[in-house]
């Protein structure tokens, strides 16, 4: 398994250039084709609003979107100009998550940015990243809006809980894990679910990865009253991890929104790139 097609979501916001460079570096490392994609929601106006002028408002919004799309394309083409045969461009106006999912079906990996509430771009919804990751059927590599990430192959950490989502993420991340100089498998609260982890937690997943040429260190931690997502962030910082691999929403999204959970914490507070699958 390898990545041969990588999709990067491009917008007109301040983090787009760093995201493109990140995705381009990844594409070069895997000898993959890189596709840039601009999406934006269709213009919406309230035609029942008094005063008229709905048509002019619609066209003004549409022109703003077109300018943003041109800006995004020019940025993408400038940064990828040395690789014209390995890159291409698409743009689509409509429902952003649906548009990205449509294109993602023909990609091996989707690179997106974490939502930055201080710099919203192009009218994109705050939930775009999680909506795409939940529905696209492909792994999504999320880049934090704060910080720089020059490497992705020094130390990878897999958040393992034996769930379907974690299994999917682990398999999706194999091309990255094979390239990492060091891989840690982190198991939190293993004793709470012995039926998943067996008598020796981490042994089975370690053997699975070893057969794929990935040597791992298994680390166990206990959350107690802490959110598991906070444990992941703490261990990632302490061990200088540059990539985190995890399943997204092993519990229902509603439950995590109400009660909290690792997925919600990571989406809001990620400090390193996170490959997530559902």
- What is the pLDDT at residue 256? 47
Other Cβ atoms closer than 10 A to 103: 18
- What is the pLDDT at residue 85? 87
Residues 271 and 189 in one domain: yes
Considering its fold, how many domains does the chain have in total?
2
- What is the pLDDT at residue 48? 55
- What is the pLDDT at residue 252? 53
Residues 174 and 133 in one domain: no
**CATH number for position 137:** 3.40.50.620
The residue range of the domain holding 56 is 5-143
Residues 106 and 190 in one domain: no
Residues 16 and 129 in one domain: yes
User: Which residue shows structure tokens 């771009």?
Assistant: 121
DSSP secondary structure letters along 146-158:
SS----SSSEEEE
**Of 143, 174, 207, at which residue does a domain stop?**
143
pLDDT tens digits, the chain, 278 residues: what are they?
Answer: 789 999 999 999 999 999 999 999 999 999 999 999 999 999 876 655 555 556 667 778 889 999 999 999 999 999 999 988 899 999 999 999 999 999 999 999 999 999 999 999 999 999 999 999 999 999 999 999 999 999 999 999 999 999 999 999 999 999 999 999 999 999 998 877 767 777 788 899 999 999 999 999 999 998 876 789 999 999 999 999 999 999 998 655 544 443 348 899 999 999 999 999 99
Whole-Å CA distances, 45 to 61, 94, 155: 9, 14, 48
**Of 110, 143, 176, at which residue does a domain stop?**
143
Residues 174 and 110 in one domain: no
DSSP secondary structure letters along 46-89:
-TTSTT--HHHHHHHHHHHHHHHHHHHHHHHHHHTTT-GGGEEE
Whole-Å CA distances, 245 to 41, 140, 201, 223, 251: 30, 10, 18, 18, 17
Q: State how beta strands 109-113 and 182-188 pair.
A: unpaired
Whole-Å CA distances, 143 to 55, 172, 201, 216: 38, 17, 30, 24
- The answer as to whether 149 is a domain residue is no
């Amino acid at each position: 398994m390898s990545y041969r097609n990588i999709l990067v979501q491009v917008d007109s916001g301040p983090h787009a250039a760093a995201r493109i460079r990140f995705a381009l570096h990844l594409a070069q490392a895997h000898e993959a084709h890189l596709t840039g994609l601009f999406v934006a929601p269709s213009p919406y106006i309230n035609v029942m609003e008094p005063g008229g002028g709905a048509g002019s408002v619609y066209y003004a919004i549409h022109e703003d979107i077109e300018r943003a799309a041109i800006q995004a394309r020019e940025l993408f083409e400038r940064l990828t100009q040395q690789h014209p045969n390995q890159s291409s461009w698409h743009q689509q106006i409509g429902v952003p998550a649906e548009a990205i999912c449509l294109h993602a079906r023909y990609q091996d990996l989707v690179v997106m940015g974490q939502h930055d509430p201080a710099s919203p771009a192009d009218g994109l919804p705050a939930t775009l990243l999680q909506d795409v990751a939940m529905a696209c059927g492909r792994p999504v590599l999320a880049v934090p809006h704060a910080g720089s990430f020059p490497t992705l192959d020094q130390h990878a950490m897999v958040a393992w809980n034996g769930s379907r989502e974690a299994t999917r993420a682990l398999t999706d991340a194999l091309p990255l894990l094979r390239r990492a100089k060091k891989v840690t498998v982190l198991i939190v609260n293993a004793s709470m679910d012995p039926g998943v982890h067996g008598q020796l937690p981490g042994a089975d997943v370690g053997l699975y990865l070893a057969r794929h040429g990935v040597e791992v260190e298994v680390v166990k931690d206990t959350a107690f009253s802490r959110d598991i997502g906070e444990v992941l962030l703490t261990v990632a910082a302490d061990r200088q991890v540059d990539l985190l691999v995890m399943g997204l929403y092993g519990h229902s999204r509603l439950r995590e929104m109400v009660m909290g959970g690792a997925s919600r914490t990571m989406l809001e507070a990620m400090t390193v790139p996170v490959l997530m699958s559902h």
